[in-house]
Amino acid sequence: MKQVSVCITVLLLFALTAWAYSPATTGFQFLKTQVGARPAAMAGAFVAISGDVSALHYNPAGIAVFSQRVAGFTYTNDLLDFSSGFIGYVQPQVGKGNLGLSILYKDYGDFTKKDQNGEDMGTFGAGSIALNGSYAMQIAPNLSIGVTGKYIRASIDNYSADAVAMDAGVLYYIAKHELTIAAGIYNLGTATSAFITTKDDLPMNLRIGASKKLAHLPLLVSGNAYKYSDEDLQFALGGEFTLSDYMLFRLGYDSIGKKMHVDSSDDTMAGMALGFGFLWKQFKIDYSFTSYGALGSLNRFTISGHF
């Protein structure tokens, strides 16, 4: 536990230093995107869950437990007909740890381009992408650490902006209580180029959480608190019920839903999420539904497997 405390303290110091120099608003907002239907169905309360390819995004320390190659793909039907996706791959036993590669992208679609007189000039596109490389290892019994390096690019028509960043995470498993505690810092970096002249800051993020398998119920409970440099402190809570050897049900709530209230009868659903998981041979097929209240909803589909 002393080693865990040291790791978490280091992450907190990094976070506090970064926040001290962070502005009220940031760019590259697509980095806040939840990935993976399983984590999204648990409202993103995933920092303390390992053994899932989505850990590449939520806590790189979570890939240290893999002993087989694993890959996964997530597609998200986003708001306003945007679309986004995540591709992840983990190669075990590379040196003393495991190597992970992942891509996060968001496509904003095509827009009509007009000149200053309102004349139609065709269309233009916009999108964002992050290319990530992760490495994780167990440095002590039940204690894992992981880091991720990122190259980030956002583009609008002929304009683009670039950035580099890193994530770092720690995860500690207490086998006697089937309890995991974890923490991570994300998007710690800087823009290297601007759309025009002003470079956007990154949405630095700190997460601390825990997960536990209950002793007398087929239920995994997970929760975390998180803070983006341009947002208030939030929390997320999720649960995963094992219905059978082949089917799981998930439910979650993210307090960020309170910010989505627009005085509509649908506001009560904002921040809620649910989903299902199906196991077939070495494959997992997951689906999640996330409500933004009157603003709309997101559907995510993930297929993953080991080989």
**CA 275 → CA 202, 232, 257, 296, distances in Å?**
30, 27, 17, 17
Residue 260: the pLDDT is: 74
3 state SS of 307: coil
CA gap 168, 135 in Å, rounded: 10
Tokens 């440099």 sit on residue: 229
The full DSSP string for 221-246 is: EEEEEEEETTS--EEEEEEEEE-SSS
Cβ-based neighbours of 191, under 8 Å, separated by 6 or more: 27, 28, 161, 162, 163, 199, 200, 201, 202
Tokens 């993103």 sit on residue: 44
Residue 1: the pLDDT is: 56
Which positions of the chain have pLDDT values less than 50?
17-18, 20-21
Cβ-based neighbours of 268, under 8 Å, separated by 6 or more: 293
Taking a C-beta distance cutoff of 8 angstroms, is the pair 237, 220 a contact? no
Tokens 């689906």 sit on residue: 287
**CA 213 → CA 1, 175, 198, 219, 272, distances in Å?**
20, 10, 47, 6, 22
Taking a C-beta distance cutoff of 8 angstroms, is the pair 62, 167 a contact? no
Tokens 């939520």 sit on residue: 58
| DSSP annotation of 24 | S
pTM recorded for the entire structure = 0.89
Amino acid occupying residue 176 = K
Residues 245-289: tens digit of each pLDDT: 999 999 999 999 888 766 666 677 889 999 999 999 899 999 999
Residue 24: the pLDDT is: 54
Residue 12: the pLDDT is: 52
Strand residues in the chain grouped as ranges (E): 70-77, 83-94, 97-114, 120-140, 143-156, 159-174, 179-193, 205-213, 219-228, 234-242, 247-254, 272-280, 283-291, 297-306
Domains of the chain: 2-306 (2.40.160.60)
